[in-house]
A and B are shown apart, each in its own frame.
Chain A
């Protein structure tokens, strides 16, 4: 089955700096890659996603890049703010034709701390 590795497990940045979180996946058939932000005691919130037919996607201060050849994808947060502090999860899904499960396999998360 699919395996997703996420690095680093913790990340501290100064307010205003950029943060980058990287994930690698094992199954070349994976074609959907969402990123979630989870605050303490809350459920994960989808912040951005990318499909395999796109190399990069941006939404204001957040961007995601995908390298299908290397099987890795990254989350980039620019001009970080204290409210960006949370745990971030990447995930991958095959969404294959027929099986219909669209099961998401998650990384183990990155705890981001933005220091004022």
Chain B
């Protein structure tokens, strides 16, 4: 089945530690996105990538980093510079079409907590 796989489902971070969240898609989508969701809040965009080897900052990129070496994969690293990392992290993907939004489809998320 085609879809977006996020792993792990739960992740714990120690103080001063970097952690990496995995996102893989087999939908042959060009674009991929990372969002952060806090309780009672909407989703906020961290980073997005339109094509391989290119990515752009979203609204809340500070303390995060990404890479896009393969079309299928868009890992997110939460660095020690992110002082409030506890949240539900969601990865999404979509086709890319100039001048026309394409529906974004989401994975089932990774819940990150601080030890």
Contacts and interface: CB of A to CB of B under 8 A. Distances in A.
Interface of A: 1, 4, 6, 9, 31-32, 34, 36, 41-46, 49, 51, 89, 91, 93, 95, 97, 100-109
Interface in B20-47: 31, 40-45
Interface residues of B, number: 29
B107 A43 contact: yes
A100 B98 contact: yes
B42 A108 contact: yes
A4 B42 contact: yes
Contact of B43 (A1, A44, A51): A44
The 9 closest A-B pairs by CB, nearest first: A106-B42, A43-B106, A32-B101, A95-B101, A106-B43, A43-B108, A108-B42, A44-B106, A102-B101
Interface of B: 4, 6, 31, 40-45, 48, 50, 56, 58-59, 90, 92, 94, 98-109
A3 B3 CA distance: 30
Given A41-B108, A44-B106, A46-B104, 9 more contacts: A89-B42, A97-B99, A100-B98, A102-B94, A104-B43, A104-B45, A106-B44, A107-B42, A109-B40
A44 B90 contact: yes
Contact of A34 (B4, B50, B104, B108): B104
Given A31-B101, A32-B101, A104-B104, A43 B42 contact: no
Given A93-B101, A95-B100, A100-B98, A42 B42 contact: no
A108 B101 contact: no
Contacts of A6: 42
Given A46-B103, A95-B99, A109-B42, A100 B50 contact: yes
A81 B40 CA distance: 23
A108 B40 contact: yes
